[in-house]
Amino acid sequence: MKYPFIGLMRCVECGCMITAEAQKGHVYYRCTKKRGPCSQKFLREEALLDQLRKAILKVYIGDETSKKIVERWEAFIKESSKASSSQSYQIEDQLKACDEKIERLLDLYIAREIGPEEYQRKKAKLLADKQTFKEKLGEIEKGGGGWLEPAKAFLTTCNNAYFVAWQENPPAQKAFLKNLGSNFVLKDRTLSFSYVSPFHLVAKSDPIKNWLPGQDSLHFIQGKLTKVLVNTGN
């Protein structure tokens, strides 16, 4: 592809798309100026590539750190599974108790020891309790390890960032960037964009310092990252 980054960026000043042209052996990216005069200047492709490379490397997580993160995730799931199993057993006992109460209530009604109104009122209360317990059980099951595989896939993408950043493959770099962010604009020869979730969590933090400090890291992973990934995994 002659000009691989056409279609990626807009001019921040006028909103026009950024185009490219060759001049004296170099490729320059500039505003199309289709909406009138624009003060934004040309940007050489070499300078743009340097900015793109730095943007990609912001989400890079190295092999050693990636391995430690996965180990923490797996340990966290193992511990959570133990706690979840205990909670599940308790809720299942409460569900059985509701069923038994409903059966006893029906026996009382058949024996005419309670009237229709009292029967319906108490039955409705027990059914509501039963539904609440079912929902709690569903939340526990959903909060299990279903998020781990999509989380690992996300981590693999971050780990691949180093290779993508330094390879001589602009179309692949463009595709990778579009996966990381949105709203790419050029202003004063500087590229800017918004990292999409959950890549923004990595881009604004240091994986070594912020992802492995112990229990706080687990809350970070479960509360921030998996909030995005959990629906995919379940």
* Helix intervals (H) in the chain: 45-57, 63-110, 116-142, 148-166, 170-180, 199-203, 207-210, 215-220, 226-233
pTM: 0.67
Asked if residue 187 is part of any domain, the answer here is no
In a domain? residue 54: no
In eight-state DSSP terms, residue 13 is T
CA distance 213 to 216: 6
Specify if 37 maps to a domain: no
Q: Quick one: angle between helices 148-166 and 226-233, nearest 10?
A: 120
Is 194 within a domain? no
Please report where in the chains the tokens 């409705």 appear, as a residue: 124
Instruction: For the chain of 234 residues, list the mean pLDDT of each consecutive stretch of 10.
Output: 91 95 94 94 95 94 84 76 69 87 89 89 90 80 68 90 93 95 95 91 69 48 53 45
- Residue appearing with tokens 């179309």: 171
In a domain, 108, yes or no: yes
* Token couple for 92: 């299942």
Residue range of the domain that includes 98:
74-142
- Say if 113 falls within a structural domain: yes
132-191 confidence digits (pLDDT tens): 888 877 776 665 556 778 888 888 999 999 999 999 899 999 999 999 999 999 999 999
Tally of structural domains, the chain: 1
Centre a 10 Å sphere on the Cβ of residue 108 and count the other Cβ atoms it contains: 14
The answer to the question of residue 186 being in a domain is no
Beta bridge partners of 17: 10
3-class secondary-structure state, position 184: strand
The answer to the question of residue 195 being in a domain is no
